[in-house]
Amino acid sequence: MATNIPIGVRTVSSVNPATGEVLRELECAGDDEVIAAVSRARAAQKRWADLSVRNRIAVLREFQRRLLEKKSEIATLITCEAGKPRSEALTTEVLVVLDAARFLIDNSYRLLRDEHLPHGNLAAKLKSGQLIREPYGVVGIISPWNYPFSIPATEALAALVAGNAVVLKPSEFTSLVALELKSLLHAAGVPQDIFQVVVGDGGTGAALIHSEIDKLVFTGSVATGKRIAAAAAERLLPVVLELGGKDPMLVMDDADVDVASSAAVWGAFVNAGQTCLSVERCYVHRNLYQAFLNSCLEKMKKLRVGSGLDPEIDVGPMIHEHQLEIVEEHVRDAVARGARVLAGGTRLPDLGRNFYMPTLLADVTHEMCIMREETFGPVLPVMGFGTDEEAMRLANDSEFGLAASVWTRDKKRGEILARQIHSGTVMVNDVISYFGISEAPHGGMKASGIGRAHGRFGLEEMVRLKYLDSDLMPRMKKVWWYGYGANFARQMEGFLDFQFARGIWKRLSGAMRAAGLVKRRRL
Protein backbone atom coordinates (compact mmCIF):
# COMPACT_ATOMS: atom_id res chain seq x y z
CA MET A 1 0.00 0.00 0.00
CA ALA A 2 1.45 3.35 -0.97
CA THR A 3 2.17 5.88 1.75
CA ASN A 4 3.17 9.52 1.83
CA ILE A 5 5.30 9.42 4.96
CA PRO A 6 8.16 11.94 4.94
CA ILE A 7 11.70 10.59 4.79
CA GLY A 8 13.30 10.27 8.23
CA VAL A 9 10.01 9.94 10.12
CA ARG A 10 9.73 6.90 12.41
CA THR A 11 7.29 4.33 11.08
CA VAL A 12 5.80 0.98 12.02
CA SER A 13 4.60 -1.65 9.59
CA SER A 14 1.49 -3.76 9.87
CA VAL A 15 2.49 -7.16 8.45
CA ASN A 16 0.45 -10.30 7.85
CA PRO A 17 2.46 -12.88 9.89
CA ALA A 18 1.26 -15.74 7.69
CA THR A 19 2.40 -14.29 4.37
CA GLY A 20 4.84 -11.51 5.23
CA GLU A 21 2.72 -9.06 3.23
CA VAL A 22 3.01 -5.46 4.43
CA LEU A 23 -0.59 -4.41 5.00
CA ARG A 24 0.19 -0.80 5.74
CA GLU A 25 3.00 1.45 6.91
CA LEU A 26 2.09 4.03 9.53
CA GLU A 27 3.84 7.05 10.97
CA CYS A 28 4.77 6.90 14.65
CA ALA A 29 3.27 9.54 16.89
CA GLY A 30 6.05 11.62 18.39
CA ASP A 31 6.25 13.07 21.88
CA ASP A 32 4.53 16.32 20.87
CA GLU A 33 1.67 14.44 19.18
CA VAL A 34 1.12 12.27 22.25
CA ILE A 35 1.12 15.31 24.55
CA ALA A 36 -1.34 17.06 22.22
CA ALA A 37 -3.62 14.00 22.18
CA VAL A 38 -3.69 13.86 25.97
CA SER A 39 -4.34 17.61 26.12
CA ARG A 40 -7.29 17.29 23.74
CA ALA A 41 -8.63 14.39 25.76
CA ARG A 42 -8.43 16.39 28.97
CA ALA A 43 -10.21 19.37 27.44
CA ALA A 44 -13.05 17.18 26.18
CA GLN A 45 -13.38 14.85 29.16
CA LYS A 46 -15.50 17.05 31.46
CA ARG A 47 -18.27 17.37 28.90
CA TRP A 48 -18.25 13.59 28.41
CA ALA A 49 -18.31 13.00 32.18
CA ASP A 50 -21.18 15.46 32.55
CA LEU A 51 -23.34 13.22 30.40
CA SER A 52 -25.50 10.91 32.45
CA VAL A 53 -24.38 7.32 32.81
CA ARG A 54 -27.50 6.30 30.90
CA ASN A 55 -26.44 8.45 27.95
CA ARG A 56 -22.99 6.86 27.91
CA ILE A 57 -24.61 3.42 28.13
CA ALA A 58 -26.65 4.33 25.05
CA VAL A 59 -23.40 4.95 23.17
CA LEU A 60 -22.12 1.51 24.24
CA ARG A 61 -25.36 -0.04 23.03
CA GLU A 62 -24.86 1.55 19.62
CA PHE A 63 -21.24 0.36 19.57
CA GLN A 64 -22.40 -3.16 20.32
CA ARG A 65 -24.92 -3.01 17.47
CA ARG A 66 -22.34 -1.78 14.98
CA LEU A 67 -19.77 -4.35 16.09
CA LEU A 68 -22.26 -7.15 15.58
CA GLU A 69 -22.98 -5.88 12.08
CA LYS A 70 -19.26 -5.78 11.20
CA LYS A 71 -18.25 -8.94 13.05
CA SER A 72 -17.09 -10.78 9.93
CA GLU A 73 -14.86 -8.07 8.51
CA ILE A 74 -13.37 -7.27 11.92
CA ALA A 75 -12.55 -10.95 12.48
CA THR A 76 -10.89 -11.04 9.08
CA LEU A 77 -8.81 -7.96 9.90
CA ILE A 78 -7.70 -9.52 13.20
CA THR A 79 -6.65 -12.67 11.35
CA CYS A 80 -4.75 -10.72 8.71
CA GLU A 81 -2.83 -8.69 11.27
CA ALA A 82 -2.40 -11.13 14.21
CA GLY A 83 -2.46 -14.47 12.35
CA LYS A 84 -4.94 -16.41 14.48
CA PRO A 85 -7.63 -18.52 12.76
CA ARG A 86 -10.67 -16.49 11.86
CA SER A 87 -12.86 -18.68 14.07
CA GLU A 88 -10.66 -17.76 17.04
CA ALA A 89 -10.92 -14.10 16.13
CA LEU A 90 -14.69 -14.45 16.40
CA THR A 91 -14.74 -16.43 19.65
CA THR A 92 -11.84 -14.94 21.63
CA GLU A 93 -12.06 -11.37 20.38
CA VAL A 94 -15.40 -10.29 18.88
CA LEU A 95 -17.56 -12.40 21.21
CA VAL A 96 -15.61 -11.22 24.26
CA VAL A 97 -16.10 -7.56 23.35
CA LEU A 98 -19.79 -7.96 22.54
CA ASP A 99 -20.35 -9.57 25.92
CA ALA A 100 -18.23 -6.98 27.75
CA ALA A 101 -20.49 -4.32 26.23
CA ARG A 102 -23.52 -6.35 27.36
CA PHE A 103 -22.23 -6.44 30.94
CA LEU A 104 -21.58 -2.70 31.04
CA ILE A 105 -24.93 -1.89 29.41
CA ASP A 106 -26.74 -4.01 32.00
CA ASN A 107 -24.75 -3.06 35.10
CA SER A 108 -22.94 0.27 34.80
CA TYR A 109 -25.78 2.44 36.08
CA ARG A 110 -26.12 0.33 39.23
CA LEU A 111 -22.37 0.04 39.82
CA LEU A 112 -21.52 3.70 39.20
CA ARG A 113 -24.36 5.46 41.01
CA ASP A 114 -23.87 7.03 44.45
CA GLU A 115 -24.04 4.50 47.26
CA HIS A 116 -25.44 5.19 50.74
CA LEU A 117 -22.97 4.15 53.44
CA PRO A 118 -24.60 3.27 56.78
CA HIS A 119 -22.70 4.04 59.99
CA GLY A 120 -22.46 1.50 62.78
CA ASN A 121 -20.65 3.77 65.23
CA LEU A 122 -23.17 5.40 67.56
CA ALA A 123 -21.08 8.58 67.59
CA ALA A 124 -21.65 8.91 63.84
CA LYS A 125 -25.39 8.18 63.75
CA LEU A 126 -26.18 11.85 63.14
CA LYS A 127 -24.26 11.77 59.86
CA SER A 128 -25.23 10.71 56.36
CA GLY A 129 -22.50 9.04 54.29
CA GLN A 130 -22.23 8.40 50.57
CA LEU A 131 -19.67 6.74 48.32
CA ILE A 132 -19.22 8.65 45.07
CA ARG A 133 -17.42 7.21 42.06
CA GLU A 134 -15.76 9.79 39.85
CA PRO A 135 -13.80 9.25 36.62
CA TYR A 136 -10.03 9.60 36.78
CA GLY A 137 -9.97 11.93 33.78
CA VAL A 138 -7.67 10.66 31.04
CA VAL A 139 -6.84 6.94 31.03
CA GLY A 140 -3.87 5.76 28.97
CA ILE A 141 -4.00 2.19 27.64
CA ILE A 142 -1.01 0.33 26.20
CA SER A 143 -2.24 -2.92 24.66
CA PRO A 144 -0.51 -6.02 23.22
CA TRP A 145 -0.61 -7.74 19.85
CA ASN A 146 -1.86 -11.19 20.89
CA TYR A 147 -5.46 -10.05 21.49
CA PRO A 148 -5.42 -6.74 19.64
CA PHE A 149 -9.19 -6.19 19.77
CA SER A 150 -10.57 -7.79 22.93
CA ILE A 151 -7.95 -6.49 25.38
CA PRO A 152 -8.02 -2.77 24.49
CA ALA A 153 -11.75 -2.76 23.74
CA THR A 154 -12.85 -4.26 27.07
CA GLU A 155 -10.60 -1.86 28.96
CA ALA A 156 -11.64 1.16 26.91
CA LEU A 157 -15.37 0.44 27.21
CA ALA A 158 -15.12 0.34 31.00
CA ALA A 159 -13.12 3.58 31.07
CA LEU A 160 -15.53 5.34 28.72
CA VAL A 161 -18.76 4.36 30.44
CA ALA A 162 -17.24 5.58 33.72
CA GLY A 163 -16.77 9.03 32.17
CA ASN A 164 -13.08 8.97 31.28
CA ALA A 165 -11.34 9.94 28.08
CA VAL A 166 -9.00 7.30 26.64
CA VAL A 167 -5.74 7.50 24.73
CA LEU A 168 -4.78 4.08 23.37
CA LYS A 169 -1.30 3.10 22.23
CA PRO A 170 -1.65 -0.30 20.50
CA SER A 171 1.15 -2.72 19.72
CA GLU A 172 3.09 -1.66 16.66
CA PHE A 173 2.28 -5.09 15.15
CA THR A 174 -1.51 -4.63 15.26
CA SER A 175 -2.21 -0.95 14.70
CA LEU A 176 -4.91 -1.50 12.08
CA VAL A 177 -7.17 -3.37 14.50
CA ALA A 178 -6.89 -0.49 16.99
CA LEU A 179 -7.77 2.02 14.29
CA GLU A 180 -10.83 -0.04 13.42
CA LEU A 181 -11.85 0.01 17.09
CA LYS A 182 -11.54 3.79 17.00
CA SER A 183 -13.75 4.02 13.92
CA LEU A 184 -16.42 1.87 15.55
CA LEU A 185 -16.46 3.92 18.75
CA HIS A 186 -16.61 7.24 16.91
CA ALA A 187 -19.40 6.00 14.66
CA ALA A 188 -21.30 4.91 17.78
CA GLY A 189 -21.18 8.41 19.25
CA VAL A 190 -17.94 8.62 21.26
CA PRO A 191 -16.47 12.09 20.53
CA GLN A 192 -13.20 12.03 18.60
CA ASP A 193 -11.15 13.56 21.42
CA ILE A 194 -12.62 11.21 24.01
CA PHE A 195 -11.14 8.12 22.35
CA GLN A 196 -7.87 8.56 20.48
CA VAL A 197 -5.27 6.13 19.13
CA VAL A 198 -1.59 7.05 19.01
CA VAL A 199 0.17 4.62 16.70
CA GLY A 200 3.85 3.96 17.22
CA ASP A 201 6.73 2.04 18.72
CA GLY A 202 8.21 1.91 22.21
CA GLY A 203 9.06 5.59 22.06
CA THR A 204 5.40 6.44 21.55
CA GLY A 205 4.46 4.27 24.51
CA ALA A 206 7.10 5.96 26.69
CA ALA A 207 5.72 9.36 25.72
CA LEU A 208 2.24 8.27 26.82
CA ILE A 209 3.55 6.97 30.15
CA HIS A 210 5.30 10.29 30.85
CA SER A 211 2.39 12.43 29.66
CA GLU A 212 -0.23 13.97 31.96
CA ILE A 213 -2.55 10.97 31.96
CA ASP A 214 -4.40 10.21 35.19
CA LYS A 215 -4.14 6.41 35.09
CA LEU A 216 -2.35 3.81 32.97
CA VAL A 217 -3.52 0.33 31.99
CA PHE A 218 -0.70 -1.80 30.55
CA THR A 219 -0.67 -5.37 29.25
CA GLY A 220 2.70 -6.85 28.33
CA SER A 221 5.92 -8.38 29.61
CA VAL A 222 7.14 -8.44 33.21
CA ALA A 223 10.33 -6.57 32.31
CA THR A 224 8.43 -3.72 30.63
CA GLY A 225 5.82 -3.70 33.40
CA LYS A 226 8.51 -3.22 36.04
CA ARG A 227 9.98 -0.27 34.12
CA ILE A 228 6.51 1.24 33.81
CA ALA A 229 5.85 0.76 37.53
CA ALA A 230 9.11 2.53 38.35
CA ALA A 231 8.28 5.44 36.03
CA ALA A 232 4.73 5.67 37.40
CA ALA A 233 6.03 5.72 40.98
CA GLU A 234 7.87 8.98 40.32
CA ARG A 235 4.55 10.83 40.26
CA LEU A 236 2.35 8.20 41.96
CA LEU A 237 0.50 7.50 38.72
CA PRO A 238 -2.10 4.76 39.37
CA VAL A 239 -1.55 1.70 37.18
CA VAL A 240 -3.13 -1.60 36.24
CA LEU A 241 -0.48 -4.08 35.07
CA GLU A 242 -1.30 -7.40 33.41
CA LEU A 243 2.10 -8.99 32.92
CA GLY A 244 1.48 -12.49 31.68
CA GLY A 245 1.66 -15.92 33.22
CA LYS A 246 3.03 -19.43 33.33
CA ASP A 247 -0.28 -21.10 34.00
CA PRO A 248 -0.26 -24.62 35.48
CA MET A 249 -2.74 -27.35 34.56
CA LEU A 250 -3.09 -30.09 37.20
CA VAL A 251 -4.52 -33.41 36.04
CA MET A 252 -5.40 -35.36 39.18
CA ASP A 253 -5.53 -39.14 39.48
CA ASP A 254 -9.34 -39.27 39.02
CA ALA A 255 -9.48 -36.96 35.97
CA ASP A 256 -11.14 -37.88 32.69
CA VAL A 257 -8.09 -38.34 30.45
CA ASP A 258 -9.98 -37.81 27.20
CA VAL A 259 -11.49 -34.51 28.34
CA ALA A 260 -8.35 -33.25 30.08
CA SER A 261 -6.10 -34.03 27.12
CA SER A 262 -8.45 -32.19 24.74
CA ALA A 263 -8.35 -29.19 27.07
CA ALA A 264 -4.55 -29.32 27.26
CA VAL A 265 -4.15 -29.42 23.49
CA TRP A 266 -6.52 -26.50 22.96
CA GLY A 267 -5.22 -24.58 25.98
CA ALA A 268 -1.60 -24.89 24.87
CA PHE A 269 -2.07 -24.15 21.16
CA VAL A 270 -4.93 -21.65 20.89
CA ASN A 271 -3.59 -18.52 19.19
CA ALA A 272 -0.40 -20.54 18.56
CA GLY A 273 0.22 -20.52 22.30
CA GLN A 274 0.51 -16.74 22.32
CA THR A 275 -1.92 -16.27 25.19
CA CYS A 276 -1.15 -15.10 28.71
CA LEU A 277 -3.61 -17.76 29.93
CA SER A 278 -2.11 -20.60 27.88
CA VAL A 279 -1.42 -23.96 29.47
CA GLU A 280 2.34 -23.44 29.87
CA ARG A 281 2.95 -26.05 32.58
CA CYS A 282 1.06 -29.34 32.63
CA TYR A 283 1.33 -31.67 35.66
CA VAL A 284 -0.23 -35.13 35.38
CA HIS A 285 -0.58 -37.77 38.08
CA ARG A 286 1.78 -40.65 37.34
CA ASN A 287 -1.10 -43.15 37.19
CA LEU A 288 -2.44 -41.26 34.15
CA TYR A 289 0.83 -39.91 32.77
CA GLN A 290 1.40 -42.21 29.79
CA ALA A 291 -2.28 -42.42 28.85
CA PHE A 292 -2.48 -38.62 28.93
CA LEU A 293 0.59 -38.24 26.69
CA ASN A 294 -0.77 -40.80 24.25
CA SER A 295 -4.11 -39.03 24.08
CA CYS A 296 -2.50 -35.62 23.53
CA LEU A 297 -0.29 -37.08 20.83
CA GLU A 298 -3.21 -38.57 18.93
CA LYS A 299 -5.15 -35.30 19.02
CA MET A 300 -2.15 -33.22 17.98
CA LYS A 301 -1.74 -35.34 14.85
CA LYS A 302 -5.11 -34.02 13.71
CA LEU A 303 -4.24 -30.33 14.13
CA ARG A 304 -4.01 -28.37 10.88
CA VAL A 305 -1.45 -25.56 10.74
CA GLY A 306 -1.56 -22.74 8.19
CA SER A 307 -3.00 -19.35 7.33
CA GLY A 308 -5.79 -18.32 9.66
CA LEU A 309 -7.89 -17.21 6.69
CA ASP A 310 -8.30 -20.88 5.71
CA PRO A 311 -11.46 -22.08 7.53
CA GLU A 312 -9.98 -25.57 7.90
CA ILE A 313 -6.98 -24.34 9.91
CA ASP A 314 -6.64 -24.88 13.68
CA VAL A 315 -3.28 -23.24 14.43
CA GLY A 316 -1.95 -20.14 12.70
CA PRO A 317 1.49 -18.53 12.58
CA MET A 318 3.36 -16.85 15.38
CA ILE A 319 3.40 -13.07 15.30
CA HIS A 320 7.05 -12.67 14.23
CA GLU A 321 10.33 -14.55 14.02
CA HIS A 322 11.76 -13.16 17.26
CA GLN A 323 8.96 -14.75 19.25
CA LEU A 324 9.50 -18.02 17.38
CA GLU A 325 13.19 -17.91 18.32
CA ILE A 326 12.27 -17.70 22.02
CA VAL A 327 10.20 -20.86 21.62
CA GLU A 328 13.06 -22.63 19.86
CA GLU A 329 15.49 -21.68 22.63
CA HIS A 330 13.16 -23.01 25.34
CA VAL A 331 12.71 -26.31 23.50
CA ARG A 332 16.48 -26.67 22.91
CA ASP A 333 17.17 -26.03 26.59
CA ALA A 334 14.57 -28.59 27.64
CA VAL A 335 15.96 -31.28 25.33
CA ALA A 336 19.51 -30.57 26.48
CA ARG A 337 18.36 -31.13 30.08
CA GLY A 338 16.62 -34.43 29.36
CA ALA A 339 13.14 -33.67 28.02
CA ARG A 340 11.73 -35.82 25.22
CA VAL A 341 10.12 -34.33 22.11
CA LEU A 342 7.08 -36.50 21.33
CA ALA A 343 5.75 -34.25 18.58
CA GLY A 344 6.79 -31.09 16.78
CA GLY A 345 9.88 -29.21 17.86
CA THR A 346 10.59 -27.78 14.41
CA ARG A 347 9.72 -24.88 12.16
CA LEU A 348 7.43 -25.30 9.17
CA PRO A 349 9.29 -23.28 6.53
CA ASP A 350 7.10 -24.53 3.70
CA LEU A 351 4.22 -22.58 5.24
CA GLY A 352 6.19 -19.41 5.98
CA ARG A 353 8.87 -17.98 8.24
CA ASN A 354 6.62 -17.64 11.32
CA PHE A 355 5.16 -21.15 11.52
CA TYR A 356 6.19 -23.58 14.27
CA MET A 357 4.84 -27.08 14.67
CA PRO A 358 2.74 -27.67 17.81
CA THR A 359 5.12 -29.39 20.20
CA LEU A 360 4.64 -31.95 22.97
CA LEU A 361 7.43 -32.34 25.54
CA ALA A 362 7.58 -35.13 28.11
CA ASP A 363 9.68 -35.58 31.25
CA VAL A 364 10.28 -31.87 31.80
CA THR A 365 11.57 -30.52 35.13
CA HIS A 366 11.65 -27.19 36.89
CA GLU A 367 15.32 -26.80 36.04
CA MET A 368 14.28 -26.11 32.45
CA CYS A 369 13.42 -22.66 31.06
CA ILE A 370 10.28 -24.14 29.54
CA MET A 371 8.86 -24.51 33.08
CA ARG A 372 10.18 -21.23 34.52
CA GLU A 373 9.94 -18.52 31.86
CA GLU A 374 6.96 -17.47 29.76
CA THR A 375 7.32 -19.32 26.44
CA PHE A 376 4.36 -17.75 24.63
CA GLY A 377 4.34 -20.30 21.84
CA PRO A 378 2.81 -23.62 20.75
CA VAL A 379 4.49 -25.93 23.26
CA LEU A 380 2.86 -28.29 25.78
CA PRO A 381 5.39 -29.42 28.44
CA VAL A 382 4.20 -32.30 30.62
CA MET A 383 5.59 -33.40 34.00
CA GLY A 384 4.45 -36.16 36.35
CA PHE A 385 3.59 -35.97 40.05
CA GLY A 386 2.64 -38.43 42.77
CA THR A 387 0.58 -36.72 45.47
CA ASP A 388 -1.77 -33.77 45.88
CA GLU A 389 0.83 -32.06 48.05
CA GLU A 390 3.47 -32.41 45.34
CA ALA A 391 1.05 -31.03 42.75
CA MET A 392 0.37 -27.95 44.90
CA ARG A 393 4.08 -27.39 45.47
CA LEU A 394 4.82 -27.58 41.74
CA ALA A 395 1.90 -25.35 40.79
CA ASN A 396 3.00 -22.65 43.25
CA ASP A 397 6.70 -22.90 42.37
CA SER A 398 6.61 -19.98 39.93
CA GLU A 399 7.12 -16.24 39.93
CA PHE A 400 3.81 -15.96 38.05
CA GLY A 401 0.28 -16.20 39.40
CA LEU A 402 -2.23 -15.37 36.69
CA ALA A 403 -4.45 -18.45 36.32
CA ALA A 404 -4.46 -22.21 36.76
CA SER A 405 -6.71 -25.21 36.25
CA VAL A 406 -7.48 -28.39 38.20
CA TRP A 407 -8.90 -31.51 36.53
CA THR A 408 -10.83 -34.02 38.61
CA ARG A 409 -14.16 -35.85 38.57
CA ASP A 410 -14.77 -34.62 42.13
CA LYS A 411 -15.95 -30.99 42.08
CA LYS A 412 -15.47 -30.53 45.85
CA ARG A 413 -11.94 -31.89 45.70
CA GLY A 414 -11.15 -29.61 42.79
CA GLU A 415 -12.38 -26.54 44.65
CA ILE A 416 -10.38 -27.46 47.78
CA LEU A 417 -7.23 -27.78 45.68
CA ALA A 418 -8.05 -24.57 43.78
CA ARG A 419 -8.02 -22.57 47.02
CA GLN A 420 -4.43 -23.67 47.63
CA ILE A 421 -3.08 -22.41 44.30
CA HIS A 422 -1.50 -18.96 44.25
CA SER A 423 -3.12 -17.29 41.26
CA GLY A 424 -5.74 -14.73 40.37
CA THR A 425 -8.08 -17.35 38.87
CA VAL A 426 -8.39 -21.12 39.12
CA MET A 427 -10.73 -23.05 36.86
CA VAL A 428 -11.94 -26.54 37.76
CA ASN A 429 -12.28 -28.69 34.63
CA ASP A 430 -11.79 -25.89 32.13
CA VAL A 431 -9.04 -23.59 30.89
CA ILE A 432 -8.79 -19.99 29.66
CA SER A 433 -12.50 -19.47 29.02
CA TYR A 434 -13.12 -17.36 32.13
CA PHE A 435 -11.59 -14.48 30.12
CA GLY A 436 -14.83 -14.49 28.16
CA ILE A 437 -17.01 -14.35 31.29
CA SER A 438 -17.58 -10.62 31.57
CA GLU A 439 -18.61 -10.79 35.22
CA ALA A 440 -15.32 -12.47 36.19
CA PRO A 441 -12.31 -10.31 37.14
CA HIS A 442 -9.12 -10.86 35.16
CA GLY A 443 -5.73 -10.30 36.75
CA GLY A 444 -3.06 -12.02 38.77
CA MET A 445 -0.66 -11.90 41.67
CA LYS A 446 3.12 -12.04 42.08
CA ALA A 447 4.86 -11.17 38.78
CA SER A 448 1.59 -11.49 36.87
CA GLY A 449 0.66 -7.96 37.76
CA ILE A 450 -1.44 -5.49 39.72
CA GLY A 451 -5.15 -4.70 39.50
CA ARG A 452 -8.05 -6.23 37.62
CA ALA A 453 -9.87 -5.90 34.31
CA HIS A 454 -13.41 -7.01 33.39
CA GLY A 455 -16.61 -7.01 35.40
CA ARG A 456 -17.33 -4.99 38.53
CA PHE A 457 -13.71 -4.88 39.63
CA GLY A 458 -12.50 -3.79 36.20
CA LEU A 459 -15.05 -0.96 36.27
CA GLU A 460 -13.91 0.03 39.76
CA GLU A 461 -10.38 0.44 38.36
CA MET A 462 -11.68 3.26 36.17
CA VAL A 463 -13.04 5.47 38.97
CA ARG A 464 -11.76 7.36 41.97
CA LEU A 465 -13.68 6.63 45.14
CA LYS A 466 -14.82 9.65 47.14
CA TYR A 467 -16.56 9.57 50.51
CA LEU A 468 -19.11 12.33 51.07
CA ASP A 469 -20.23 12.97 54.66
CA SER A 470 -23.10 15.32 55.58
CA ASP A 471 -23.90 16.14 59.20
CA LEU A 472 -27.60 15.93 60.02
CA MET A 473 -27.30 18.32 63.00
CA PRO A 474 -25.18 21.12 61.52
CA ARG A 475 -25.87 23.56 64.39
CA MET A 476 -24.81 21.15 67.13
CA LYS A 477 -21.21 21.19 68.37
CA LYS A 478 -19.75 17.72 68.38
CA VAL A 479 -19.18 15.99 71.70
CA TRP A 480 -15.54 15.20 70.89
CA TRP A 481 -14.56 18.83 70.25
CA TYR A 482 -12.48 20.95 72.62
CA GLY A 483 -13.59 21.85 76.10
CA TYR A 484 -12.55 18.48 77.47
CA GLY A 485 -12.65 19.24 81.20
CA ALA A 486 -12.07 16.92 84.16
CA ASN A 487 -15.00 14.59 83.50
CA PHE A 488 -14.60 14.10 79.72
CA ALA A 489 -12.31 11.07 79.87
CA ARG A 490 -14.61 9.33 82.41
CA GLN A 491 -17.63 10.10 80.24
CA MET A 492 -15.91 8.73 77.14
CA GLU A 493 -14.95 5.55 78.97
CA GLY A 494 -18.59 5.15 79.85
CA PHE A 495 -19.61 5.73 76.24
CA LEU A 496 -17.15 3.04 75.05
CA ASP A 497 -18.55 0.58 77.60
CA PHE A 498 -22.10 1.48 76.54
CA GLN A 499 -21.29 0.67 72.89
CA PHE A 500 -18.85 -2.25 73.12
CA ALA A 501 -18.97 -3.93 76.56
CA ARG A 502 -20.27 -7.49 76.87
CA GLY A 503 -23.23 -7.85 79.17
CA ILE A 504 -26.29 -5.68 79.63
CA TRP A 505 -25.32 -4.38 83.10
CA LYS A 506 -21.91 -3.18 81.94
CA ARG A 507 -23.57 -1.39 79.06
CA LEU A 508 -26.19 0.25 81.25
CA SER A 509 -23.49 1.37 83.68
CA GLY A 510 -21.53 2.83 80.78
CA ALA A 511 -24.60 4.70 79.52
CA MET A 512 -25.09 6.31 82.92
CA ARG A 513 -21.46 7.48 83.04
CA ALA A 514 -21.72 8.83 79.47
CA ALA A 515 -24.93 10.74 80.06
CA GLY A 516 -23.20 14.07 80.58
CA LEU A 517 -21.48 14.07 77.17
CA VAL A 518 -24.31 15.82 75.33
CA LYS A 519 -24.68 18.62 77.90
CA ARG A 520 -20.90 19.12 78.21
CA ARG A 521 -19.74 22.64 77.43
CA ARG A 522 -17.67 22.91 74.25
CA LEU A 523 -15.61 25.74 72.85
- The residues that are catalytic are 242, 276
Q: Residue 78 and residue 16: Cα distance in Å, rounded?
A: 10
| Residue 478: DSSP 8-state | P
Q: Which residues contact 403 (CB under 8 A, 6 or more apart)?
A: 245, 247, 277, 423, 424, 425, 426, 427, 432, 434, 444
- Looking at residue 472, the DSSP 8-state letter turns out to be S
- Interior CA angle at 442 toward 439 and 447, to 5°? 165
How far is it, in rounded angstroms, from Cα 478 to Cα 497? 20
Task: Residue 222: name the closest of 450, 451, 435 by CA.
Answer: 450
Residue 332: exposed, middle, or buried by beta-carbon count in 10 A (0-12, 13-18, 19+)? middle
Looking at 1-124, list the stretches that DSSP marks H as alpha helix, in order from N- to C-terminal side.
31-50, 53-69, 71-82, 86-89, 95-112
Residue 308: Cβ within 10 Å count: 28
Cα(431)–Cα(279) distance, rounded to whole angstroms? Answer: 8
Q: Assign 3-state DSSP to the chain and report helix, strand, coil percentages, each to 5.
A: 45, 20, 40
Closest by Cα among 208, 113, 98, 78 to 154: 98
Handedness of CA 333, 338, 343, 349 (dihedral sign): positive
